[in-house]
Amino acid sequence: METYSFKAENPDVKHLESDAFPEQCAGFRGSIMLVGPLIARFGKATIAKPGGDKIGRRRLDTHFTGIQKLGARFSYEERREAYNISADKLTGTYILLDEASVTGTANLIMAAVLAKGTTTIYNAACEPYVQQLCKMLNRMGANIQGIASN
């Protein structure tokens, strides 16, 4: 097995506040997955309403509600058509998902691993993708229990 190490010191996140950033992330659905890690690491995130494929109902409520329960605040800026998310700190909590969303679960896990205290997610998705994410985060120092359960 190969081992890789990465270290990022003082990354420049000013681009997140530019008018170009929401326009760039509007074109793909995966932009919502930036919110959890950005809010956990930097205390703020800005994304446009995610675009991408139209394969049916794909709500953002699971992401937004869960991240709000961790302590984040959301606002919508009409001029830029972007969501601004901020948090002074994230605090562990109990989260009951209204749907077992794979991306919602993953996003909340990535935010919660840096929150103070314990977070328990009920009705979490437990697909292999989520399990692998949890195992990777544990190898990076997280303490995630109940992997493969919901």
Q: Characterize the bridge pairing of strands 82-86 and 44-48.
A: antiparallel
DSSP state of 116: B
Active-site residue identified among 12, 19, 53, 88: 53
Tokens representing 64 are 């937004």
The secondary structure element, H or E, covering residue 109 is: helix 102-112
Q: pTM of the full predicted structure?
A: 0.83
What number of other Cβ atoms are within 10 A of residue 37's Cβ? 15
The predicted pLDDT at position 143 comes to 96
What is the average pLDDT across 14-33?
A: 75
Given a contact cutoff of 8 angstroms between Cβ atoms, the answer to whether 113 and 137 are in contact is: yes
Q: Which two tokens stand for residue 100?
A: 């077992």
Any residues with CB less than 8 A from the CB of 144 and at least 6 apart, and which? 109, 113, 134, 137, 138
Please report the domains of the chain, with CATH numbers, ordered by start residue. 14-139 (3.65.10.10)
Q: Do strands 73-77 and 94-96 pair parallel, antiparallel, or not at all (unpaired)?
A: unpaired
Q: What is the DSSP letter of 91?
A: B
What size, in residues, is the chain?
150
Q: Which residue would you say has higher pLDDT here, 84 or 119?
A: 119
Whether the CB-CB separation of 114 and 40 falls below 8 Å is answered with yes
Active site residue 53: yes
**What's the one-letter identity of residue 32?**
I
pLDDT per residue as tens digits for the range 39-93: 999 999 888 876 655 555 557 888 999 999 999 999 998 887 788 999 999 999 9
